Structure 1
Amino acid sequence: MRTSHFPLPFAGHRLHIVDFDASSFHEHDLLWLPHHDRLRSAGRKRKAEHLAGRIAAVHALREVGVRTVPGIGDKRQPLWPDGLFGSISHCASTALAVISRQRIGIDIEKIMSQHTATELAPSIIDSDERQILQASSLPFPLALTLAFSAKESVYKAFSDRVTLPGFDSAKVTSLTATHISLHLLPAFAATMAERTVRTEWFQRGNSVITLVSAITRFPHDRSAPASILSAIPR
């Protein structure tokens, strides 16, 4: 499969981006993966996306001196080497990965059309979140895509602590030209309720990329000091 790779510094990390041509994918390309048998029943598109994501992950791992291909866990999550956290995402013909010594979460999404945004908004945000998005200087389809992507990034960062939380378990509290903040509710994870997660973002062509980079407790919570994370698995 034809691919091109380049690293991109962002929010204190280096993203490893792989653009790929799915039409050039061949079944034998998967033999490069130790776990290729696990993908036997997947469709061609899924196989190409998975391969591109693992290529990006390998580049990210090599940057920290590790030469391995992340396997697949029992929940189909990437398996990272001990002491490392990572995240993988893909959209259309782009895959990306990032590695950190702390939790980290990343996501890439194609910006929704106006029609799609109008149709999907009720399943992604509530009325309070809608007001925040509409009060920003961003077009609503872009703002809604960011809300969706940020919630995906947060889930990826803490997927080992939560079980498929709904979009209503993390609420948008602010949106600026560089970041979007989410408030985690008990439905997300009891041990993480009443926390704020700050997600950095940028636009690349007709897509947005979000990265979880910090988590802090609300001011009224004195049970623990603020902790800074860089988060993502997948």
Structure 2
Amino acid sequence: MQTTHSLLTLGGVSLHRIDFDPTTFDHADLLWLPHHAALSHAATKRKADHLAGRIAAAHALQDLAIATVPGIGPNGEPLWPAGVAGSISHSGTQAFALAVRGDNALVGIDGEQLIDEQEAVEIQDGIICAEEKSVLLSTGYPFSLALTLAFSAKESLFKALFPRVNAFMGFDSAWVTAISDSTLTLSLTRPLAGFSQNHAFILHWCQQKHSVITLLCE
């Protein structure tokens, strides 16, 4: 599969980005992955996305002088080496990854294609509550962009917390309480992963044409 590696700086942190052409994917490309057998029954798109994400992750681990590729956990989560926290995401024809040293570090990345305006109206109740909608509308951003940010930020937070919770979290587990031109604040609606109710997490975000990227790294 044809890929291009580059770096993207977000919140002062360098993310590894892989631009890939899924039309050039060949099933033999998966043999590069130690866990390729686990993907044998996956759809072709899933295989291409996964491969691009693991290539990004391999670059991120190389920054730490670690030559390996994260495997797949029982819930589909990436299995990072001991002493490392990291996150992987893919959106469209891009994949992103970040790895840092520290078992207790919180790392979550998410990339999302912008939600269509009509779809945003239709699905908003499954992502945000009325109070959050007021926050989103107060930004002056198009509602589709603001809702995509809320969706993506919650995904990033949940990815960061998953190693501690080891369970999936609903969108009502955290509320959007503030959005600036580069950050978004989420507050827990209940005690979770050792954090108290109302604990606030500040995530960084950026927009790239028709997609957004959110990052939690602390």
Q: Hey, what does 2:205 align to over in structure 1?
A: 201
Alpha-carbon shift at residue 82 of structure 1 (Å) = 1.3
Q: Hey, what does 2:129 align to over in structure 1?
A: 126
Quick one: which amino acid aligns to residue 119 of structure 1? Answer: E
**SS in structure 1 opposite 2:52?**
helix
Q: Hey, what does 2:181 align to over in structure 1?
A: 177
Is 1:19–2:26 an aligned residue pair? Answer: no
Alpha-carbon RMSD: 1.1
Alpha-carbon shift at residue 137 of structure 1 (Å) = 2.3
Is 1:36–2:39 an aligned residue pair? Answer: no
Is 1:73–2:73 an aligned residue pair? Answer: yes
Alpha-carbon shift at residue 161 of structure 1 (Å) = 2.5
**SS in structure 1 opposite 2:15?**
strand
Alpha-carbon shift at residue 190 of structure 1 (Å) = 6.1
Alpha-carbon shift at residue 103 of structure 1 (Å) = 2.0
Deviation per residue, 1:39-96 (Å, 9 max, x gap): 0010000000000000000011111211111111122211111111110000111111
**SS in structure 1 opposite 2:214?**
strand
**SS in structure 1 opposite 2:162?**
coil
Q: Hey, what does 1:153 align to over in structure 2?
A: 156
Structure-2 separation of matches of 1:175 and 1:140? 13
Q: Hey, what does 2:111 align to over in structure 1?
A: 108
Structure-1 separation of matches of 2:147 and 2:82? 35
| Percent of paired sites with the same residue | 47
Is 1:135–2:162 an aligned residue pair? Answer: no
Structure-2 separation of matches of 1:58 and 1:13? 17
Alpha-carbon shift at residue 120 of structure 1 (Å) = 1.0
Quick one: which amino acid aligns to residue 58 of structure 1? Answer: A
Structure 1 runs of 4+ with >6 Å offset = none
2:164 and 2:193 in contact (8 A); partners too: no
Q: Hey, what does 2:97 align to over in structure 1?
A: 97
**SS in structure 2 opposite 1:68?**
coil
Alpha-carbon shift at residue 194 of structure 1 (Å) = 2.4
Unaligned segments of structure 1, at least 5 residues: 214-228, 230-234
- Structure 1 length-normalised TM: 0.88
Tell me how many residue pairs correspond in the alignment.
213
**SS in structure 2 opposite 1:56?**
helix
- Structure 2 length-normalised TM: 0.94
Structure-2 separation of matches of 1:143 and 1:177? 11
